[in-house]
């Protein structure tokens, strides 16, 4: 019995060491991937982005809508879709956000109210692209959100060219993010959502 107990104990310790080693490797991979994720985020707006058929702005801050509307006024797309708008927000309220001429808003802006998360944004955009018969879109969202948003849109509308256009908030400190707890928490959260989306695809139900 003593020999059998010792053998079981050794086997248990061996399995524990293997589990701890695997956990350490997974943690190291997660941390390494996180640093790579943050390093590859755009720090500056793109220069001279090419014209596309349409422009899509994912809600989550007025800066995204403002940037997308400026691209529309510059002729970078035929129409602009603002996807994920809250049902209580009407077109009049959105007009107060955008710069420039309201006439451009009236003629060339579509507002989507169905999306509640990034997957919903992708589905709403894919339906809009299908109806308009577009083959290329400029995707406007926050720089930290672009990797996941582009992944979801690409899955929802394969064959459509997606040109990312990052937006930057004053409260987001990408350089030296580790010194800013709010930015650090946001980046960790977004990186985790990106990994889940990459792993589980469109089965994941994650907030924007």
pLDDT, one tens digit per residue, over 132-155 is 999 999 999 999 999 999 999 999
| Residues 84-105 pLDDT 10s | 998 888 888 888 888 777 778 8
Helical pair 146-156 and 181-200, crossing angle rounded to 10 deg = 20
13 pLDDT band, cuts 50/70/90, is confident
Nearest to 80 by CA among 21, 34, 125: 125
Instruction: Say if strands 79-83 and 161-167 run parallel, antiparallel, or are unpaired.
Output: unpaired
Tokens at residue 158, please? 């394969």
Q: What does the pLDDT read at residue 20?
A: 80
Q: Sheet of 109-111: strands edge to edge?
A: 109-111, 79-83, 54-58, 136-142, 161-167
Q: What does the pLDDT read at residue 83?
A: 95
Distance of CA 61 to the CA centre of its chain: 13
Q: What percent of the chain has pLDDT over 70?
A: 92
CATH class of the domain defined by 54-203:
alpha beta
Helix or strand holding residue 92 (H, E): helix 91-97
In the beta sheet, which residues pair with residue 139? 56, 164
Compute the CA torsion angle 67, 168, 95, 113 (nearest 10 deg). Answer: 100
The CA R_g of the chain, rounded to the nearest whole Å, is 22
- The answer to whether 202 and 119 are in contact (CB under 8 A) is yes
């Amino acid at each position: 019995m003593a020999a059998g107990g010792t053998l079981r104990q050794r086997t248990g310790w061996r399995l524990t060491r293997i589990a701890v080693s695997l956990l350490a490797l997974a943690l190291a991979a997660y941390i390494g991937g996180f640093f790579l994720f943050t390093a590859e985020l755009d720090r500056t707006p793109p220069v001279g982005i090419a014209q596309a058929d349409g422009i899509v702005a994912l809600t989550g801050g007025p800066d995204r809508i403002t940037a997308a509307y400026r691209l529309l006024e510059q002729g970078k797309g035929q129409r602009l879709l603002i996807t994920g708008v809250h049902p209580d927000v009407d077109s009049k309220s959105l007009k107060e956000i955008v710069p420039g001429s309201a006439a451009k808003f009236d003629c060339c802006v579509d507002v989507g109210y169905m999306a509640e998360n990034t997957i919903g944004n992708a589905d709403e955009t894919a339906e809009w692209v299908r109806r308009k018969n577009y083959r290329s879109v400029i995707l406007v969202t926050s720089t930290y959100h672009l990797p996941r948003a582009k992944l979801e849109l690409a899955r929802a509308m394969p064959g459509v060219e997606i040109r990312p256009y990052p937006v930057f908030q004053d409260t987001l400190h990408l350089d030296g993010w580790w010194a800013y707890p709010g930015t650090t928490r946001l980046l960790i959260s977004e990186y985790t959502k990106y990994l889940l989306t990459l792993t589980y695809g469109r089965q994941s139900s994650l907030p924007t």
